[in-house]
Amino acid sequence: MNLKSVKLRHNIIGHSELLDRALSTAVRVAPTDLTVLIKGESGVGKEVFSRIIHQQSARKHESFIAINCGAIPAGTINSELFGHEKGAFTGATSDRRGYFEVANKGTIFLDEIGEMPLDTQAYLLRVLENGEYIKVGSSTVQKTDVRIIAATNVDLLEKIKKGKFREDLYYRLSTVPIEVPALKERKEDITVLFRKFASDFAEKYNTSPVRLDERAELVIQNYAWPGNIRELKNLVEQLSVLSEEKQIDAQILLDNFPYLLKRNLPAKTEQGEASGSMEEREILYKLLFDMKSDLNDLKGLVFGLIQKNDLDIPSFQNGSQITSITELLPQNDRDYSASSPATDYSSDESLLYGGQEESFTIDHSAEPLSNAEIVEEILSLEDMEKEMIGKALSKYKGRRKEAASELGISERTLYRKIKQYNI
């Protein structure tokens, strides 16, 4: 079956390349019994993809059960999935068949799989590996032949790092991953979907559909749609009810939905502020040190040209005249050598931007006055960090909590740095 017929059959609107790619993967994996993990933001239609896989498979005449793992309490999810025996817990007045027993030979769709408790994940892993499970309160192993399709709107790899999701289960579930694109990634489909929802609403309530002008279309195409298709559908229905005009311009659209002008740029969260402050500070230090290094290289080049060509130094704006290159250096650095660090001449901007605009010609035949070399000062991020930590601890007389607050890092990170630098 080609993609066009699949779209018509399952009422999928859109011509985005990303959408077609995801749909093509779903159609190709459907005839197999491979486990599928559908990834995508909330509201993109992950359950629609699971139904497409079921309908295109050999199990299409068997049961299809969709379960939202985040909506079932942790204390009852094992009973819901695997069933329980009478008397297994308080309130278990009779035997109960679980979803894996009811959907035998069919398909189970586990939405928000990242919200599943860790103990339930272990039971699910056993089902995936050998098709076995045990009812709550029972010691009898039962068999099931169920195809599992899972979906998530969170990064499961991040949950694995935090110890909230089993790594072995993740790789069992993601035999075939499918990425369902967010609405902001398929902007060409937004106006098509708008017209579809407007037409459906008008047909349902026997009214004329609302229409957007060009500027209004630009507004909805540039909005981020965090709620994706579900949010767009709600907007169309509200607009169909609230607006007295059927021809919608940008002003009418923004009067009803002013938030459409928001760009939803990423913001730094409070949780990540403490953990990321040191890394950001190190990046800033490196940037500043690189700038200083470049400035020292430039100054060294200018001094080298002046020395090599025996150039006259232009006078400063205050009228004073420099007659020797060494007069530009501090007193204790005038007899510098190759082993001495570079000196910061940031205050001598008149060397590069003098009060007198004098032109000069470089005489390449001139012999250099000396072989002196300005060596770049070696700056260490670790030394700077160690010095800052030492100053903070000294300021607060060893009180780590206050020192960590001053440095903008967590107390745990400060303790680790103290051990690292042996402070």
Q: Enumerate helices (H) and strands (E) in the chain, giving the number of each.
A: 16, 11
pLDDT at 362: 43
d(CA 57, CA 223): 37
The tally of CA atoms less than 13 A away on the side-chain side of residue 381 is: 13
Residue 360, pLDDT score: 42
CB-based burial of residue 82 (10 Å sphere; 0-12 exposed, 13-18 middle, 19+ buried)?
buried
Q: Is the pTM of this model over 0.75?
A: no
User: Domains in the chain and their CATH numbers?
Assistant: 3-181 (3.40.50.300), 184-261 (1.10.8.60)
**List of the chain residues with pLDDT < 50:** 265-276, 316-326, 328-330, 332-379
pLDDT at 311: 64
Pairing mode, strands 247-248 and 211-212: parallel
Torsion over CA: 234, 237, 239, 243 (sign): negative
Strand pairing report for 147-152 and 176-179: unpaired
- Tell me the H-state helices in 206-269: 214-221, 228-242, 250-256
Q: What is the pLDDT of residues 64-84, one digit of tens each?
A: 999 999 999 988 999 999 999
**Which residue shows structure tokens 């957007």?**
212
Local structure of 264: helix, strand or coil: coil
- At 288 the pLDDT is 76
At 394-422, the pLDDT tens digits run: 888 888 888 888 887 888 788 888 888 78
CA diameter of the chain? 105
Report the candidate in 108, 101, 106, 114 with the shortest Cα–Cα distance to residue 69: 114
* CB atoms near residue 171 (< 10 Å): 11
pLDDT at 263: 59
Structure tokens at 355: 């009060």
Burial of 175 (0-12, 13-18, 19+ CB in 10 A): middle
What DSSP string runs through 104-125?
TTSEEEEESGGGS-HHHHHHHH
Residue with tokens 């002003």: 251
Task: Quote the pLDDT of residue 291.
Answer: 78
Q: How far apart are CA 52 and CA 44, in angstroms?
A: 14
